[in-house]
Chain A
């Protein structure tokens, strides 16, 4: 991510006490991950010790300090999805992508994550790809849906 864009985002929040998490969230959203240099820049410009930033980016699940795939697959493991067979769906996704939750496929196509409750419980089990939720997911439908992503 280029330095100018990072500075732009930081400047938007400059001076606001406690804005470091919001800054990092915006950078994460655009860049999909947080390189070390970016963390140092944020630390310097916002006057927040690097130690706190390091804790923040590893504490909160929204952040990634490793490069991510082009497409993010989130499989909901909420209770309602769980009782409707979410773990079988996850197994199928793992099979088809070759990766486990927390991993990125070597071709950088998919990153897989399990998430706790997307809030579409009536449609369980739910799988979200790039923010688009797919409800009532039968494992047999998974291959067809994943094929649509480049």
Chain B
């Protein structure tokens, strides 16, 4: 092994290495970092070695086992140089093909390439893959190119030239100045100016000084340092040596957590090789400067990431932090001046020396220069390590690099800074990430952990999780941390199990103040941050857990019987009725459903089934067909539930319900059962609201609707149709004691285009109402429907039934963003409806007896606060079309008479107290679409229940609408494990053939038969029986 005696020697050696290398020789760079190792990259390496041997290619192909490439979601990863072809999820079985096809025949193996999820295109080269393309890999770039166990690789890419430069061209003070000028701030989380810190240690007198690499990376979810140390240990060593020179230290330590065995191994090998080459140890590069480095391992204590605790650990003591001042730069390890920096900080030093401080400072923000490596993990498509310029927005990291949130779930928050950090909600996604910006919204950038959370994450549970972590990791020396965190954890735990009180929030804040102010070290001082930031942005979740014992994300096990029931706005006991159907007890199933809603059949036909989106079975093959099963039960009901309905004796109170939609009828039903004298006033000729006039009869047959509305009357509620209510004063004058306003949202929103009032442009809602009420409606041949929700779909399919030959829906985004339900979009397409995506009308005018519309094409631009990409018009892409009829279905508004005297907001919506549904007027309650805007039948039903509760309480009652309609359930039958094993998909749902559908309004979805229904119930995982 040659000893490199001078900078000139080093240059010479590098030139020799480069001249020996053949740039055209294929090199297979296989990622061998810890994450890929966990995905069996070691087996892939073996397979590669064997295959290379087998195909006689030894000597003509290089196999390089490199460090972490960063795209950990898709490991094991192979880069094929010199082309830059990138293969993902490589398995040992793929190896023979890779060698034959790509190495020998220069052909690409398609199935191993990256597929862009937006375009479905395959991408061959790493540099074109969005995950890599949108990064700025300065510190991390060599990870995929070098074998960390081979120092020659590092030297060949320019390694140790910074050290040579520093030792030969600069004094130690000059090196410190360069680092100061660069603006580099510590990457471990605290962000102190590295140059200034070095200066403190430099200026403290003393012959013995220490420099230390803090590789005790402990934030859960953060593994940047591990990958750097495993993949490019020499970069860290080089930086450390330069720092030692600058400060005047001759002894360095690398403190690595023992949970990183590969990092320990690779950095130990690196030290040995550097010493052998004379790049470490005595008289480095002939400069006369001596510097020795030792590796010491942590022993499993998160607190040892705190610098003073780390020093205690190096001294062979328990990792208890010590008070500062004095700072380690003055009195550190063994009371000597000591400089401790994070792994990534040290790795940046060679870049600063080689390229100069100005280059380093050329990217980043005013206060935060350079790049930062983040570990982007959690609910994000492209999980892995990403290096980006400081100042890049959270949005760009998560969506451009990260590829957004998987499975179409909604983004909820991003957690940064680990247990010392906070959760940032969607409204701040546009913020730049650096040391100062995130602090303004109650978070910190921290060491780089970035955990994306979606709608299925409970923010109260997140706070509890971090407190649990810190309780476990607190050293225990000081009272505020040891006791304070533990007490906060107790409170949080109680909240997550339904034992919380509203006063707990005050107690949490009080504990946060003391723990945050009086703790000995940063662990305790920052411990309250996750709690405080989740309280700041997600207080409603805390209140729901406390007041309603409700965990909206479905996480807190004590509060969630099953994910389906938890997500049902009415809280129907779904697993129970599914079991009943499986046992053939259909009447009992309906009784169970009826305990929560008065419309089991209607929901069985048209519910939006939020439950299915949360069904655990959906994580395996597909969700249980809960809605179809509900319909099946309702269609086979024996009416046994009626025997248990107990209508209370008359209370003498009169309740008026305005609007006979699901909200109003539900409120009427429960109010009548409680004994009140209820009258429902409906302006239209028939009762049912949107169920009657919005939903076409091929989805919800009139007989089904009529039958269930009859049951409302059977408990004593009176329904008066053709009875518009003009004033509430009159109702009160007539002796009504309370009123519920559920008039819905029956007016279509305007498109806001020129020519809006052109004849033949009509409101989709008006159109559907006319058809459903039996009016004569002609549509002509060519119809355009504007919008992407269920109204647009219903209107288009109805137009087809009215004999329109050419029906097109135009929607400004793509199918993935359409709010309409997937099944109905499919059914519409089957029925010949066309959908034009990414277009929107700009103006309309009358031409002969038709409407001419000008439209413009759209492209999906930047992500907005809702997490969806905003559509942006493409200039000059206008096109026109002529239609017999235009139906607008882009939104709905409400028309509440001013004479009601209620406070109304944008869109005509009535303002109510979110808990009681009380309006601004005493005794008047409101709910449903008129409050929320267009929602769903099941949400309206849930509102109706709450309205009945509030009204009963207002009228002096208990507000208890709970009913027991089903017999008590015996012990559920044992789960048949055999039946449950293996992949099982839903039985097919019988549908009316397409040719029959367009003939009229016959039911399209024909549902399950007895056999299929029973089979489907067996797929249910019975989550409600999970032990808690």
A binds B: yes
- Please tell me which stretch of B59-67, B149-157, B315-323, B855-863 contacts chain A, meaning at least 4 of its Cβ atoms lie within 8 angstroms of it: B315-323
CB pairs A–B below 8 angstroms (26 shown): A17-B316, A18-B315, A18-B317, A21-B299, A56-B299, A59-B475, A60-B300, A77-B220, A79-B378, A79-B466, A80-B220, A80-B377, A80-B383, A82-B465, A83-B457, A116-B220, A117-B220, A118-B259, A119-B259, A119-B260, A120-B34, A120-B38, A120-B72, A120-B223, A122-B72, A131-B261
Q: Would you call A148 an interface residue if the criterion is a C-beta within 8 Å of the partner chain's C-beta atoms?
A: no
* Interface pair B318/A56, CB less than 8 Å apart: yes
Interface string of A59-81 (1 = CB under 8 A from B): 11111000000000000011110
Nearest chain B CB to A29 CB, angstrom units: 9
| Distance in angstroms between the alpha carbons of A56 and B312 in the assembled complex | 11
Q: Would you call A96 an interface residue if the criterion is a C-beta within 8 Å of the partner chain's C-beta atoms?
A: no
* Interface pair A120/B221, CB less than 8 Å apart: no
Q: Would you call B143 an interface residue if the criterion is a C-beta within 8 Å of the partner chain's C-beta atoms?
A: no
Q: Would you call A38 an interface residue if the criterion is a C-beta within 8 Å of the partner chain's C-beta atoms?
A: no
Interface string of B369-383 (1 = CB under 8 A from A): 000000101110001
- Interface-central residue, B39, B313, B377, by most chain A CB under 10 Å: B377
* Interface pair A121/B383, CB less than 8 Å apart: yes
Q: Which of A27-79 contact B (CB under 8 A)?
A: 48, 52, 55-56, 59-63, 77-79
Q: Which of A96-140 contact B (CB under 8 A)?
A: 115-124, 126, 131-135
Contacts known (A25-B297, A117-B218, A131-B261); A60 close to B319, Cβ less than 8 A: yes
- B interface, CB within 8 angstroms of A: 34-35, 37-39, 72-73, 75, 217-223, 226, 258-261, 296-302, 313-319, 334, 375, 377-379, 383-384, 415, 418, 449, 451, 453, 457, 462, 465-466, 469, 472-473, 475
| Distance in angstroms between the alpha carbons of A55 and B415 in the assembled complex | 34
| Distance in angstroms between the alpha carbons of A60 and B218 in the assembled complex | 14
- A interface, CB within 8 angstroms of B: 17-22, 24-25, 48, 52, 55-56, 59-63, 77-80, 82-84, 115-124, 126, 131-135
Contacts known (A61-B299, A61-B300); A79 close to B38, Cβ less than 8 A: no
* Interface pair B299/A24, CB less than 8 Å apart: yes
* Interface pair A19/B316, CB less than 8 Å apart: yes
| Distance in angstroms between the alpha carbons of A80 and B454 in the assembled complex | 12
B38 in complex: contacting residue of A19, A83, A135, CB < 8 Å: A135
* Interface pair B375/A121, CB less than 8 Å apart: yes
| Distance in angstroms between the alpha carbons of A19 and B317 in the assembled complex | 10
| Distance in angstroms between the alpha carbons of A55 and B476 in the assembled complex | 12
Nearest chain B CB to A77 CB, angstrom units: 8
Nearest chain B CB to A51 CB, angstrom units: 11
Closest-by-CB residue of A relative to B449 is A79
Which residues on the A side are within 8 Å of B73 (C-beta)?
122
* Interface pair B220/A78, CB less than 8 Å apart: yes
A117 in complex: contacting residue of B221, B299, B453, CB < 8 Å: B221
| Distance in angstroms between the alpha carbons of A69 and B256 in the assembled complex | 26
Contacts known (A62-B258, A78-B220, A122-B377); A20 close to B316, Cβ less than 8 A: yes
* Interface pair B318/A59, CB less than 8 Å apart: yes
* Interface pair A123/B297, CB less than 8 Å apart: no
B221 in complex: contacting residue of A48, A52, A115, A121, CB < 8 Å: A121
A115 in complex: contacting residue of B259, B261, B315, B316, CB < 8 Å: B259
Nearest chain B CB to A129 CB, angstrom units: 12
Closest-by-CB residue of A relative to B473 is A116
| Distance in angstroms between the alpha carbons of A11 and B17 in the assembled complex | 41
| Distance in angstroms between the alpha carbons of A21 and B313 in the assembled complex | 8
* Interface pair A62/B38, CB less than 8 Å apart: no
* Interface pair A121/B301, CB less than 8 Å apart: no
Which residues on the B side are within 8 Å of A115 (C-beta)?
259
* Interface pair A122/B383, CB less than 8 Å apart: yes
Closest-by-CB residue of A relative to B295 is A22
Closest-by-CB residue of A relative to B70 is A122
Nearest chain B CB to A61 CB, angstrom units: 3
Which residues on the A side are within 8 Å of B75 (C-beta)?
122
* Interface pair B35/A122, CB less than 8 Å apart: yes
* Interface pair A52/B317, CB less than 8 Å apart: yes
Closest-by-CB residue of B relative to A54 is B318
* Interface pair B318/A116, CB less than 8 Å apart: no
| Distance in angstroms between the alpha carbons of A150 and B415 in the assembled complex | 40
| Distance in angstroms between the alpha carbons of A135 and B34 in the assembled complex | 11
- Interface-central residue, A79, A124, A126, A133, by most chain B CB under 10 Å: A79
Which residues on the B side are within 8 Å of A131 (C-beta)?
261
Nearest chain A CB to B441 CB, angstrom units: 19
Nearest chain A CB to B353 CB, angstrom units: 29
Which 8 residue pairs spanning A and B have beta carbons closest together? A61-B300, A78-B220, A122-B72, A119-B223, A60-B299, A133-B38, A18-B316, A122-B383
Closest-by-CB residue of B relative to A22 is B296
| Distance in angstroms between the alpha carbons of A118 and B38 in the assembled complex | 11
| Distance in angstroms between the alpha carbons of A122 and B406 in the assembled complex | 13
Which residues on the A side are within 8 Å of B223 (C-beta)?
117, 119-121
Which residues on the B side are within 8 Å of A124 (C-beta)?
377
* Interface pair B221/A80, CB less than 8 Å apart: yes
Which residues on the B side are within 8 Å of A77 (C-beta)?
220, 469
Given A133-B37, A134-B38, 11 other A-B contacts at CB below 8 A?
A21-B296, A60-B300, A63-B299, A80-B378, A82-B220, A117-B223, A119-B35, A120-B223, A121-B72, A122-B75, A123-B35
Which residues on the A side are within 8 Å of B469 (C-beta)?
77, 116
- Interface-central residue, A78, A80, A116, A135, by most chain B CB under 10 Å: A80
* Interface pair A18/B314, CB less than 8 Å apart: yes
| Distance in angstroms between the alpha carbons of A118 and B384 in the assembled complex | 14
Which residues on the A side are within 8 Å of B418 (C-beta)?
79
| Distance in angstroms between the alpha carbons of A24 and B296 in the assembled complex | 12
* Interface pair A121/B297, CB less than 8 Å apart: no
| Distance in angstroms between the alpha carbons of A78 and B220 in the assembled complex | 5
Which residues on the B side are within 8 Å of A20 (C-beta)?
316
| Distance in angstroms between the alpha carbons of A63 and B258 in the assembled complex | 11
| Distance in angstroms between the alpha carbons of A92 and B428 in the assembled complex | 38
| Distance in angstroms between the alpha carbons of A83 and B313 in the assembled complex | 32
* Interface pair A120/B316, CB less than 8 Å apart: no
| Distance in angstroms between the alpha carbons of A25 and B379 in the assembled complex | 36
* Interface pair B72/A56, CB less than 8 Å apart: no
Contacts known (A56-B317, A121-B375); A116 close to B384, Cβ less than 8 A: no
* Interface pair A135/B39, CB less than 8 Å apart: yes
| Distance in angstroms between the alpha carbons of A139 and B864 in the assembled complex | 36
